[in-house]
């Protein structure tokens, strides 16, 4: 197969993306203890119940990255940018939780940011599931 950089992301097939995806881990199907501990330390206003229920693997990734706010910012960008084209995106409740987490993380990096501006360019986000 040709290196990814030679072709736009939208031209890479679903099968190729599946091949490139890291192999499933034993804890992908449930929220880990580390994630539960991280979640308990978040402000009460940052509920991520929908994320944990629907996408425990993603909640686990965020928890692993959380100690590094710059790495976490890159992870949010990766999660919310449709690199493959025609992705369904996250359901609205999960998208809202991710947006709140991202804003909270952005304020950790730059406390002066206005909390009303989530900083995501909607032109590059995955389409809604509706």
Give pLDDT tens digits for 54-65: 999 999 999 999
The residue with tokens 């402000």 is: 43
pTM (predicted TM-score): 0.69
Q: Mention every residue, 6+ apart, whose C-beta is less than 8 A from residue 71.
A: 65
- Angle made by CA atoms 126, 55, 25, in degrees to the nearest 5: 115
Mean pLDDT, rounded, for 59-80: 94
Q: How large is the greatest C-alpha to C-alpha distance in the chain, in angstroms?
A: 47
Higher pLDDT, 23 or 123: 23
Directed axis angle between helix 92-109 and helix 69-80, to 10°?
Answer: 150
Average pLDDT, the chain: 78
Mean pLDDT, rounded, for 70-75: 95
Contact 50, 86 (CB under 8 A): no
Give pLDDT tens digits for 81-117: 877 666 678 899 999 999 999 999 999 888 766 545 5
User: For the chain, what are the domain ranges?
Assistant: 26-124
């Amino acid at each position: 197969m040709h290196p990814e950089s030679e072709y736009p992301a939208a031209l890479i097939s679903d099968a190729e993306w599946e091949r490139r995806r890291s192999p499933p881990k034993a804890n992908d199907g449930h929220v880990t203890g580390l994630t539960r501990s991280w979640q308990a330390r978040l402000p009460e206003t940052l509920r991520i119940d929908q994320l944990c229920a629907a996408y425990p693997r993603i909640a686990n990734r965020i928890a692993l990255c959380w100690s590094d706010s710059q790495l976490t910012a890159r992870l949010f960008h990766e999660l919310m940018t449709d690199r493959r084209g025609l992705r369904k995106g996250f359901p609205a409740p999960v998208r809202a939780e991710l947006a709140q987490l991202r804003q909270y993380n952005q304020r950790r990096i730059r406390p002066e940011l206005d909390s009303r501006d989530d900083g995501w360019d909607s032109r590059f986000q995955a389409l809604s599931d509706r």
